[in-house]
A and B are shown apart, each in its own frame.
Chain A
Amino acid sequence: DSGVTQTPKHLITATGQRVTLRCSPRSGDLSVYWYQQSLDQGLQFLIHYYNGEERAKGNILERFSAQQFPDLHSELNLSSLELGDSALYFCASSVWRDTQYFGPGTRLTVL
């Protein structure tokens, strides 16, 4: 157990819908990273927050957004969902530039 929690574990929704994925980092970790894992694209960095501030963006679609709250948990919002958004979404946390600890992931299925 990495200490990073993600909810929900599975999510099944329809195209055009909006969903919110939640991540709670390890106690004391100020950084939260979001990654998408799909069969064709592998593990791709989406976005990084540090202590509530956005620090870096990767291959994140404009339909996707994220935020980190004062209690350091983070949410990834995915809207206008398409079939191609079906993937595993992981969050990882770290103190700053050291080891990233990954959560168990949320499996999103868009039908």
Chain B
Amino acid sequence: QQQVKQSPQSLIVQKGGISIINCAYENTAFDYFPWYQQFPGKGPALLIAIRPDVSEKKEGRFTISFNKSAKQFSLHIMDSQPGDSATYFCAASKPGAAGNKLTFGGGTRVLVKP
């Protein structure tokens, strides 16, 4: 059962454009939603994260929008740069004694053309 669905699988955007990646989740117990960026040959690195009590969070050119009723959240990359070309993963976790295991979406490969 895929608990976090991510789309699109890949996207191409021109330099300066906006990249938008969407995720939908099923488990309403999830309370932490991070986005990770991964370059080839590297481990995922946290980009930005949000909790359900906030509808939007912005850090530099990266913005998360969160819609609790629709169980959806999205990443917007403004003014996309060639250095943003990477694979992006959304994830979710829920509270509990088991800690903070992350359930990941399938990933989106972003290519920013100069």
CA distance A55 to B98 in the complex (A): 5
Residue of A nearest to B107 (CB): A42
Partner of A103, one of B43, B93, B97: B43
Q: Give the contacting residue for B101; candidates A4, A33, A42, A96; CB below 8 A.
A: A33
Q: Say whether A96 contacts B43, CB under 8 Å.
A: no
Main secondary structure of the interface of A (DSSP, over half): strand
Q: Cβ of A96: which chain B residues have Cβ within 8 Å of it?
A: 99-100
Main secondary structure of the interface of B (DSSP, over half): loop
B104 at the interface (CB under 8 A from A): yes
Give the complex CA separation of A98 and B46 in angstroms. 11
CB-based contact A55/B46 at 8 Å: no
The answer to whether B104 touches A42, judged by C-beta atoms less than 8 angstroms apart, is yes
B27 CB, nearest partner CB in chain A, Å? 14
* Contact A100:B104 (CB < 8 A) given known A2-B45, A105-B43: no
Q: List B residues at the A interface (Cβ < 8 Å).
A: 32, 34, 36, 41-46, 49, 89, 91, 93, 95, 97-107
Q: Hey, which bits of chain A sit against chain B, CB under 8 A?
A: 2, 4, 31, 33, 35, 42-45, 48, 50, 55-56, 58, 90, 92, 94, 96-105
